[in-house]
A and B are shown apart, each in its own frame.
Chain A
């Protein structure tokens, strides 16, 4: 058994072709997902978190996208060298997917049962009959009442929460080792979100699968993740085990994100703290430290060079900021 991370990528870059040439959306990312771990990728819209997730399964392709990486591995296998068939076995077999909007991700013209069994027939070589039986078991596993009857329903006959459960059933149908989940609860009400997060956590506990969880909601990350990576303008700006990130962050953007959360369980100041400005568009990504135009702590050095993602105190903690480097000028504790 391979003891390295389940999935990893080194120096991943993703560019999209725009009117004025190629625009870099993700710039030199290293990411490793441990076995049985829930790894969070957090950031605002446009930070590159979703395309990074898709690139792990080499799903960001086509003439308008360009992925490059020094290495992309899944369970010790070289994903970059895989041919079409091997990739198809990887996606849907070893890797399951859960997306934000189940209404858009399921085919409205096919029954839920048909869509569930399809993958099992293709990837596990089950007969239609056996696949149907297992499909019912899966619906039961994700908490859908009278599963055998619901197999013949079409997606529009399910509520949003039920449909997300069905999508999770589909994601786990072929016993994946990794689940890629892109904002899996963003479109749902909080009470349903709590149900879905509990379901995902129980799947990890039961099957030992890993999850890469893309979310903009730091509360969801705090509840679910072992490790969290923060992305800004196409780069990872900080990564750490969950407690370290929430209590000992060492990057002003992370501080800004944590401070912008408005607590409901405590009084708030009259005017809320916020990060000035807005995330840059792809064509306008600043040189040097990409966050410096919005950073209240920036000094001259921040506009002179690009800080590296370097180690900070504590295991597995990396941050990209001159100010919190060992000889830096920033201190903060929460």
Chain B
């Protein structure tokens, strides 16, 4: 199938002026990312805060300044569109954010919140708009009789449904979901994910899902991209990436996720990464991950990791990985030998 959305070596660099307008530093938020999302599919993006995943999402919608590379949407290069043609493209792409408290205007009744994109992008009368808002609320599981209510009269989960209804209002082809379930309680999270899955199946929508919740991502995504300091380090089918991660960073990320199963937790070979993510102002030389990489330590700190940036290269199973030693990583995805076994004997 053809790609609905495609980037080629996309870059978003911000110039940060130094103190007193002195030296300028460059924040390389997105630093050469090439992804493809096919029509009707969902790409999941995962990575720690500051890795550039939200900036990448915004750049796709032309809501972050692109400083290099290109974005194609539906076969058209939209990197430098402006004015009316940009508005037309934007009406085909929508986004839903993490915080339904922050992204809905507290003073507006739901009818206006959901109807606003229709007013912006389509010329229809008030009555038509109202009917359409009612249908949209029905679709997301909100009683249309409540369209006169304001956001604070709804619960967090309901507000997220309203935000989704608003995103659907102009019948977009593509929806960016940035941490949409992160602020929700666990019992509500599954309800919202089910709604997104239904919408995807019924309307053939294409998604980019950004989340740090790996379970949500696996449930909805066809492919998973793992980001570290502005770059994709692993990209492939969700099952392959989660069941047999090939990049040492993906391995660390998965092994850090707590499992709701005490036996599995005790039996686990956990990789605990040292330190924090380096600043995007001072990206390490060579492989960006080499300063925290347990695999490099185990291989006797080869110079190549610090000297040469690994390109994203295909493995035999179809995924791509940016690691010089991906074969070694895939062969032994376990705890580094130097690390002591985790405390396991704490139960009575």
Q: B197 and A222: CB pair below 8 A?
A: no
Q: A274 and B342: CB pair below 8 A?
A: no
CB distance from B76 to the nearest CB of A (A): 34
Q: How many B residues touch the partner, as a band?
A: 35 or more
Chain B positions 289-348 with a Cβ under 8 Å from a chain A Cβ: 342-343, 346-348
B253 partner residues in chain A, CB cutoff 8 A:
190-191
Residues in A with CB closer than 8 Å to B258 are: 190, 193, 197, 217, 219-220, 222-223
CB distance from B248 to the nearest CB of A (A): 12
Expressed in whole angstroms, the Cα–Cα distance for A196 and B273 within the complex equals 11
Given A189-B212, A202-B343, A275-B187: A262 in contact with B193 (beta carbons within 8 A): yes
B202 at the interface (CB under 8 A from A): no
A194–B272 Cα gap in the complex (Å)?
Answer: 6
Q: Which 8 A-B pairs have the closest CB atoms?
A: A219-B258, A262-B215, A264-B214, A274-B190, A194-B256, A275-B187, A44-B185, A272-B190
Main secondary structure of the interface of A (DSSP, over half): helix
Q: Would you call B48 an interface residue if the criterion is a C-beta within 8 Å of the partner chain's C-beta atoms?
A: yes
CB distance from B288 to the nearest CB of A (A): 15
- The one of B194, B213, B256, B262 that contacts A246, using a Cβ cutoff of 8 Å: B262
Residues B176-197 near A (CB distance < 8 A): 185-191, 193-194, 197
A264, B252: Cβ atoms closer than 8 Å? no
CB closest residue in chain A, given B243: A265
- Given the known inter-chain contacts A44-B186, A262-B215, A274-B190, please indicate yes or no for A195 contacting B346, CB distance below 8 A: no
Q: Is the CB of B242 within 8 A of A260?
A: no
Q: A270: CB under 8 A from chain B?
A: yes
A261 close to chain B: CB less than 8 A: yes
Q: Specify which chain B residues have a CB less than 8 angstroms from the CB of A162 in the assembled complex.
A: 276
Contacts of B276 in A (CB 8 A): 159, 161-162, 192
User: Which residues in B have their C-beta under 8 angstroms from that of A258?
Assistant: 260
Interface pair A265/B187, CB less than 8 Å apart: no
In the complex, what residues of B have CB within 8 A of residue A189's CB? 48-49, 212, 277
8 examples of A-B residue contacts, CB within 8 angstroms: A192-B48, A195-B273, A201-B343, A219-B257, A222-B260, A223-B265, A226-B346, A260-B189
Residue in A191, A195, A216, A273 whose beta carbon sits within 8 Å of that of B185 in the complex: A216
Which residues in chain B, 17-55, are within 8 Å of chain A measured between CB atoms?
48-49
Interface set of A (CB-CB < 8 Å, partner B) = 38, 44-45, 159-162, 189-195, 197-198, 201-202, 204-205, 216-223, 226, 241-243, 246-247, 256-258, 260-265, 267-268, 270-275, 278-279
Q: Interface on B for A, CB 8 Å cutoff?
A: 48-49, 155, 157, 185-191, 193-194, 197, 212-219, 239, 242-243, 252-263, 265, 270, 272-273, 276-277, 342-343, 346-348
* Residues on the B chain within 8 Å of A191, using CB: 48, 252-253, 256, 272-273
Residues of A near B259 (CB, < 8 A) are: 219, 222-223, 263, 265
CB distance from B135 to the nearest CB of A (A): 22
Write out the residue numbers on chain A whose beta carbons fall within 8 Å of the beta carbon of B190: 260, 262, 272-274
Instruction: Give min CB distance, B18 to chain A, whole Å.
Output: 17
Residues of A close to B270: CB separation below 8 A: 194
Q: Is the CB of B257 within 8 A of A264?
A: yes
Chain B residues, Cβ within 8 Å of A223: 258-259, 262, 265
Interchain CA distance A247-B260 in the complex, whole Å:
10
Q: How many A-B residue pairs have CB under 8 A?
A: 140
Beta-carbon contact of B346 and A257 below 8 Å: no
List 15 extra interface pairs beyond A191-B256, A222-B265, A246-B261, CB under 8 A.
A192-B48, A193-B258, A194-B255, A201-B346, A217-B258, A263-B218, A263-B259, A264-B214, A268-B215, A274-B187, A274-B188, A274-B194, A275-B187, A278-B155, A279-B187
Chain B residues contacting A267 (CB-CB under 8 Å) are 239
Given the complex of chains A and B, what is the CA–CA distance between A329 and B325 in angstroms? Answer: 56
> Known contacts A191-B256, A219-B260, A222-B259: does B187 contact A264 (CB below 8 Å)?
no
Residues of A within 8 A of B185 (CB): 44-45, 216, 278-279
Taking A190-B212, A190-B256, A272-B194 as contacts, is the C-beta distance between A216 and B346 under 8 angstroms?
no
Distance in angstroms between the alpha carbons of A273 and B189 in the assembled complex? 10
Closest to B47 in A: A189
Is B186 touching A198 in the complex (CB atoms < 8 A)? no
Task: State the CA gap A271–B157 with chains docked (Å).
Answer: 17
**B residues in contact with A262, CB < 8 Å:** 189-190, 193, 213, 215-216, 218-219
User: In the complex, what's the smallest C-beta–C-beta distance from B45 to chain A, in angstroms?
Assistant: 14
- Please indicate the chain B residues that have their CB under 8 angstroms from the CB of A275 in the complex: 187
A260–B214 Cα distance when bound, in Å, is: 14
Q: Which residues of B contact A201 (CB under 8 A)?
A: 342-343, 346
Could you say which residues of chain B place their CB within 8 Å of the CB of A218?
186, 260
- The distance in angstroms between the C-alpha atoms of A161 and B194, with both chains bound, is 33
Chain B residues within 8 Å of A195, by CB: 272-273
Distance in Å: Cβ of B27 to nearest Cβ of chain A = 16
For A160, the chain B residues whose CB sits under 8 A away are 49
Query: How distant is A262 from chain B, measured CB to nearest CB, in Å?
Result: 3
Across-interface contacts of B343 in A (CB, < 8 A): 201-202, 205
Complex CA distance for A162 and B254, rounded to whole angstroms: 22
The residue on A at minimum CB distance from B258 is: A219
Residues of A within 8 A of B348 (CB): 226, 241
Contact partners of A247 in chain B: CB under 8 A: 262
A225 to B137, CA, bound (A): 42
A265 to B: closest C-beta gap in Å: 7
Check A216–B186 contact: CB distance below 8 A: yes
Give the distance to chain B from A215, nearest Cβ to Cβ, in Å: 10
Distance of A137 from chain B, by nearest CB (Å): 20
B194 neighbours in A (Cβ, 8 Å) = 271-272, 274
Alpha-carbon distance between A164 and B212 when the two chains are bound, in angstroms: 19
Question: Is A256's CB under 8 angstroms from B187's CB?
Answer: yes
B242 contact set on A, CB distance < 8 A = 264-265
Return B104 CB to nearest CB of chain A, in Å: 18
Q: Which residue of A lies closest to B216 (CB)?
A: A262
Whole-angstrom distance from the CB of A86 to the nearest CB of chain B? 32
Chain A nearest CB from B26 CB (Å) reads 20
A6 to chain B, nearest CB (A): 15
Cα separation A103 to B213 with both chains bound (whole Å): 23
